[in-house]
Copies of this chain bind each other. A is one copy, B any other.
């Protein structure tokens, strides 16, 4: 069984991937230039060089285009955040490092980010599912940080790592919503909202 690389695919699969990319890039370009609401699906189709109906073969609806464009950006931010994370720093510093990287990604285009985050609850469609998968993996990885902290002796063994990961995610998501809708500055959101919130949660992790 040989590894399948991009140019070994059949014409069908290659065309699909190409179109997917073109749609993603067209959507991103228009959303950042005009905003999400002001962009019509017709425009996205035109800029991507496909018919309007084709758009909805690659995204269930207009919000699903947001998930298409943010999936890779989010995945990259998360991966970079974990990759550059200090291994032996206190848990709060690790978390803040991670979330700072993610917040910075959103801060590049706050209006589009706000539309994305607001559309997340209850979203359906293939790209929404992909983002949901990212989220689950993320919560699991945060849970892994808790486990590591337990091995270091920084966190009590009584704390269930996955539950702790889920709580931390809920607090992060709350801070994210508050930030993007209230439009505070990045630093204020991180240091005055998210950090105290996480610190109060982590108090309960102490052995």
Contacts and interface: CB of A to CB of B under 8 A. Distances in A.
Interface of A: 114-115, 117-118, 120-122, 159-160, 163-164, 166-167, 169-171, 173-175, 177, 180-181, 196-197, 200-206
Given A173-B174, A174-B173, A174-B174, A167 B121 contact: no
Nearest to A124: B181
Contacts of A159: 200, 203
A163 B117 contact: no
Contacts of A122: 114-115, 117-118, 177, 180-181
Contact of A174 (B114, B169, B196): B169
Is chain A's interface secondary structure helix, strand, loop, or mixed overall?
Answer: helix
B177 A171 contact: no
A169 B175 CA distance: 11
A169 B200 CA distance: 13
B204 A167 contact: no
Contacts of A197: 163, 166-167, 170
